[in-house]
Structure 1
Amino acid sequence: MGFVKVQQRNRKVTFFQLFQQSPQFTALLFGQIFSLLGSSITNVILPIVVLRESKSAAMMGTVMAIYMVPIILLLPISGVLVDKMNKVKVMLIVDFVRFALMLTLSIITFLNQLNMMSLFIIMFFMGVMESFFQPSYSGVRAKVFTKEIRNAANSLTQVMMQGLKIFGPILGGIIVSAFSAAWGFGIDAVTYIISFLFLLTLRRLSFQSDVIQPTAKSSLKKDFFEGIEVVKQQTWLWISILVFSLINIFWGGIMKVLLPWLINVHYKFEPTVFGLVISASGAGAIVCGIMFGLRKKWNKRGVLTYSSVAISGLSLLLLPVFASVPFLMLLMFLIGACNMLGGLIWETSLQELVPEEKFGRVASLDMLGTVALLPAGYLLTGWVAEGIGEITTLIAFSSAIVFIAILVLFNKGIRTFN
């Protein structure tokens, strides 16, 4: 009743009122906290297992490619299918399948029967599950994160996720050191069951289904292009999806290839410094997320988003200037904060602008734009760095991010998006 009264008065709640006002938000948040905690543990343990089994660092790239291929291939289809089903039920099925996969991985690791082929198969099906989970999760968030709680709910969710990305790897390292990789995989499996139990409380949540005319035959292709039409109708949506597809090529190359090289090879810092620098980015994201949630309304969101992108690019551009750990941490703190601001604005805008019955396919298009070109970005970074040098590549890619962000701000539809 408290939640209904807030809706009736059309009041927006703050950070600290969320749990009282929306039990559905609470269930969704805690389900994802446990799920992401398990994934964070596995993300640390998996490379250790791959190196132990294959003695090859390149094999880890193969494992990640096998995981990402079904995501890239299935997203255009999964988003359409999710829009025609109950999204909570899809998440329940996915969590149960992921539990079974991780439990299997844990058992064969305990029995010393793990080999690369079994790992390939399990990671492939984990990728398949991810391609259905993300559009469903985005759709459920759009339903649960109503206008009254949207800012606070999105920001608190992202703050918790960032915190887990810092804490989860530490826990994973402790588990694999004190116990074994099999225990880590087993804990990951248990977290999916805990997530499943939280999601069960949302099973009565109803969704608007995509309306199909009785006389018309629906096709996946037609439904997919309907999602594109939704995006095309909003300047903010189609420009941002295209722009960030391009920016992610440069961003991914810098963060995954050039940043580790800069700190570990160029500056010759200890590996712990790299961890500190990455943690500083997470800390910046958490601080920004808290600040975003404390404010009930944000204006000039188009300008804020692309200004934050430009500031991130400038911060990346300054990384090779001083070999100072505090300076690097300060820059990464700023980068994390800017990324969080842009991400929260984007998430809330999707929830406001996209019809519920088409949210799954639009979320798929968004995710596809985010991940599809990342492998190309990694390869491009390596080729360019070999040709012109790592520092020059870092400067060029950072400058490209700044230039693109400033260029987009010349578009009136972006500048006036509020």
Structure 2
Amino acid sequence: MPVSHNTLNYFNNLFQPVRQSRPFRYLWLGQLFSVLGSSISMVILPMVVYALTGSKVVMGTVMAVYMLPYVLMLPVAGLMVDRMNRIGVMVAADAVRCVMMLGMMFLLLQDRMTLPLLYSFMAVYGFMEGLFQPAYSAMRARVFTPDIRNAANALTQVSHQGVRLLGPAIGGLLISYVSAGVGYGIDAITYLISLCCLWFIRDLGTKRLIKSKIGWKSDLATGFIILKGHPWLWITIAVFSVLNIFFSGIVLILVPWLFKIHHGFTPFLYGLGVTFAGVGGVIAALLFGSRTSWRKRGWLAYGGVIISGVALLFLPFVAWGPGLVALMAVEGFGMMLFGLVWETSLQELVPEEAFGRVASIDLLGSFALLPLGYLAVGGLADWIGGQATMVLLALGGLLIAACALWVPAIRNFD
């Protein structure tokens, strides 16, 4: 059956950034491999924790140990990436994470992994993530120029979600039939590939964006001033400071428990669930990328949040494996819709010279409460039960999203 002219035009537009921009090609390719490795290791992580302890509280503690250094690094990282070579910052973070994953591989293969060692590795990983993410966000804002912005964001998300279709399934197979350590070894290789890709565009990060000498405090205040001028940005950051606890607490702590402990499903089925969350994300990204512009983006973004929340609300009532996998796909679809609107709005509203600081404030606001939140989620689940906690958190998230839509700056964002 011949491919329609409209379909050819769609994919031609979607891949325009690859043909047109050399920096995009290397940035995109390096992060494609990095996301693949991370999607493998992050599926393996809860299986390792539950194999060591079987405790939801410990899983919450592990995530808190990861998030606390991540949050603490963000204010400093935002200033660093506006003052320093952003590519150099990313290369350094990738190098450390590569070495760390090799260490985890060795310990798991030798059956010498302990909970204190796992805490140590996750703390280092959190610091490096807090350093890397503001730099990567700032480089996207620079590389994703207005002429390719929508296509670049859509293609990045489609391809990232595409490798997430493979990563979780690979991670589930590895931990079921090979070894968790092999998965971390693969992750180390992907960080090395990312590092090499970044090296080819290292000159892109040499531009010094902060040239004044007014001091770090004043430079940081600039980020807050920019956010204050855009209610859509600062209100959404405030909303997600709580919403992230509710939704990510379900996805990262309670969904693995639901699959592995409560239902007794294999790690492969859990990996398949995470994979289909990626499928939902790919569908959302393809939908978003089908148009050069969208109207009523406030409704579109928070509508995605509500779709995700409804899927999470139904999860604890479903005991059928394929049904759980389908709900994970719906959850991924909703959150991807929000993420694409949010990413493009940041790139449109925030000037390049301050993007590192604004990105760090965005990440800080969204994730600052997560360390305590993860501990609270684990403790609440042990107190009232995992399923009841999932229902409570999903309802809370839906209520917050509905309240946000009552604010004119949110629902009228266009």
* TM-score above 0.5, yes or no: yes
- Alpha-carbon distance, 1:312 to partner: 2.5
Per-residue CA deviations over 1:277-306 (Å, capped at 9, x if unaligned) read 443322111111112122211121112111
Q: 2:343 aligns with which of 329, 347, 355?
A: 347
In structure 1, what is the equivalent of residue 298 of structure 2? 302
Per-residue CA deviations over 1:64-86 (Å, capped at 9, x if unaligned) read 43332211111111111111112
Residues 280/208 of structure 1: CA separation in 2 closer, same or farther (3 Å cut): same
Residues 183/387 of structure 1: CA separation in 2 closer, same or farther (3 Å cut): closer
8 A Cα contact 1:67 1:126, kept in partner: yes
Distance 1:113 1:319 in 2: 35
8 A Cα contact 1:208 1:357, kept in partner: no
Q: 1:401 aligns with which of 380, 397, 403?
A: 397
In structure 2, what is the equivalent of residue 98 of structure 1? 97
In structure 2, what is the equivalent of residue 4 of structure 1? none
- Alpha-carbon distance, 1:169 to partner: 2.9
2:170 is the counterpart of 1:171: yes
Residues 99/380 of structure 1: CA separation in 2 closer, same or farther (3 Å cut): closer
Q: 1:223 aligns with which of 216, 219, 222?
A: 219
Alignment of 1:54-65 (within 5 A): 57=55, 61-65=60-64
Alignment of 1:2-401 (within 5 A): 14-46=13-45, 57=55, 61-106=60-105, 118-175=117-174, 180-206=179-205, 209-214=208-213, 216=214, 218-219=215-216, 221-260=217-256, 268=263, 270-271=265-266, 274-319=270-315, 323=319, 325=321, 327-382=323-378, 384=380, 393-401=389-397
TM-score (structure 2 length as normaliser): 0.84
8 A Cα contact 1:13 1:148, kept in partner: no
Distance 2:37 2:118 in 1: 17
Distance 1:396 1:121 in 2: 32
Per-residue CA deviations over 1:201-247 (Å, capped at 9, x if unaligned) read 21121565444445x4x13x333222122111111100000011121
- Alpha-carbon distance, 1:139 to partner: 0.6
Distance 2:349 2:112 in 1: 50
Distance 2:225 2:76 in 1: 16
SS in 2 for 1:336: helix
Any stretches of 5+ residues in structure 2 without a counterpart? 1-10
In structure 1, what is the equivalent of residue 7 of structure 2? none
- Alpha-carbon distance, 1:254 to partner: 2.9
Aligned residues: 402
In structure 2, what is the equivalent of residue 414 of structure 1? 410
Distance 2:381 2:121 in 1: 34
Q: What's the Cα RMSD here?
A: 3.2
Residues 262/132 of structure 1: CA separation in 2 closer, same or farther (3 Å cut): closer
Residues 225/413 of structure 1: CA separation in 2 closer, same or farther (3 Å cut): same
**Worse-superposed segment, 327-336 or 149-158:** 327-336
Distance 1:282 1:312 in 2: 13
Aligned-residue sequence identity (percent) comes to 46
Distance 2:396 2:107 in 1: 46
